[in-house]
Amino acid sequence: QVQLVQSGTEVKRPGASVKVSCRASGYTFNDYGISWVRQAPGQGLEWMGWISGYNGQTNYAQRLQGRVTMTIDTSTRTAYMELRRLTSDDTAVYYCARGPLSGLDVFHFWGQGTMVTVSS
């Protein structure tokens, strides 16, 4: 069965960086992409960006351009999301979700979420 398992809770200081991982199993990693979605406490869902599981091509949400980097390691079937220059507004649960390699599709499978707290 498809599973996405994320890394654990993080606590960071303002200005620091965080890197969250998402390990995939149960499907052919190269045949799909991974999207990252975050949710601030009590708020809605925000799509952050997408990375191809085939060649690492990325597409980031405009408001995060320059601060976010998504990468993959196909040997370990793991996707990574790094967010830099953290502020308190980045405090959120970060989810990875399996998305399409190309074309139009939704997120059928999600990770369990990683809580990132930014606090001085």
Partner 1 sequence: DIQMTQSPSTLSASVGDRVTITCRASQNVNNWLAWYQQKPGKAPKLMIYKTSTLESGVPSRFSGSGSGTEFTLTISSLQPDDFATYYCQQYNSYWTFGQGTRVEVK
Applying CB under 8 A, the residues found at the interface with partner 1 are 35, 37, 44-47, 50, 59, 61-62, 95, 99, 104-108, 110-113
Residue 16: CB minimum distance to partner 1, A: 25
Residue 44: CB minimum distance to partner 1, A: 5
Using the minimum distance from each CB to partner 1, give the nearer residue, 35 or 52: 35
- 110 in Cβ contact with 21 (< 8 Å): no
Residue 120: CB minimum distance to partner 1, A: 26
Using the minimum distance from each CB to partner 1, give the nearer residue, 106 or 120: 106
Strands (E), 26-91: 33-39, 46-52, 58-60, 68-73, 78-83
For residue 106, give every residue at least 6 positions away whose Cβ sits within 8 Å of its Cβ, in sequence order, or none.
99
- 59 in Cβ contact with 71 (< 8 Å): no
Using the minimum distance from each CB to partner 1, give the nearer residue, 36 or 80: 36
Residue 101: CB minimum distance to partner 1, A: 14
Using the minimum distance from each CB to partner 1, give the nearer residue, 28 or 112: 112
- 21 in Cβ contact with 111 (< 8 Å): no
* DSSP-assigned letter for residue 101: S
